[in-house]
Amino acid sequence: MIVERNRFPMIRAMILRALLLVAVSALAEAQSVEKTFKQPFKIAGVGWMDLRVSTAGALPAEDRKVRIEVAGILVSPSKEEPKRANLLWTFGFTNKGMKAVESVRVEEVSPTEVAITRVDDASPEFKDGYWIGNSVPTEATRDTQPWLYAEGPSSFVFRFSVKEPGKEPRVLYQVAAFSREAKEYFRAQIKKINEG
């Protein structure tokens, strides 16, 4: 897989805008005290796994050295055809204490039956202790992204494998939840790009 890592400031701004929308819609849905609970997800190649979520949506997966900050999507015009919307998955985490990181792999493991590698970064770079990796962009259409056009919310689970030299990979499972409102927002972005 190709990892796009340039344009840190632009990508970070786009991520923050998208996350703000998701956070605002999640807060509007919560309206009451946020409650955390374990929700079962069927994980490709593993079986059922309970992951922590909240009434407001996904919670960051974290251990003593890694905190997942982002597992989401970006919609932007295609470089080749500016009137064609592309969607890419974007991921980010904070390094809380690893001296060196040899590789980072992010795989979609739910709702898919077989793990799909979204990012495979064999030489990860960190800026201020933060790593960002993006999938290869794909066309954003009803056929290629049916979940985005389906009624109601959608959830995914991503497996982050972060390898330090000489050690087994640290493995964290991150839920990515998209409310109905967030999906409407991304569909509006796609329409705006496609209509020029």
Residue 98 maps to a domain: yes
Q: How high is the pLDDT of residue 26?
A: 47
Range of the domain at 25: 8-195
Residue 116 maps to a domain: yes
Number of structural domains the chain divides into: 1
Residue 2 maps to a domain: no
pTM of the model as a whole: 0.83
Give the 3-state DSSP-derived string for the chain, with helices as H, strands as E and coil as C. CCCCCCCHHHHHHHHHHHHHHHHHHHHHHHCCCCCEEEEEEEECCCEEEEEEEECCEECCCECCCEEEEEEEEEEEECCCCCCCEEEEEEEEEEECCCCCCCEEEEEEEECCCCCEEEEEECCCCCECCEEEEECCCEECCCCCCHHHHCCCCEEEEEEEEEECCCCCCEEEEEEEEECHHHHHHHHHHHHHHHHC
Residue 3 maps to a domain: no
Residue 115 maps to a domain: yes
Residue 1 maps to a domain: no
Per-residue pLDDT tens listing for the chain (196 residues): 445 555 555 555 556 555 545 544 444 444 446 799 999 999 999 999 999 999 888 999 999 999 999 999 999 999 999 999 999 999 999 999 999 999 999 999 999 999 999 999 999 999 999 999 999 999 999 999 999 999 999 999 999 999 999 999 999 999 999 999 999 999 999 999 999 8
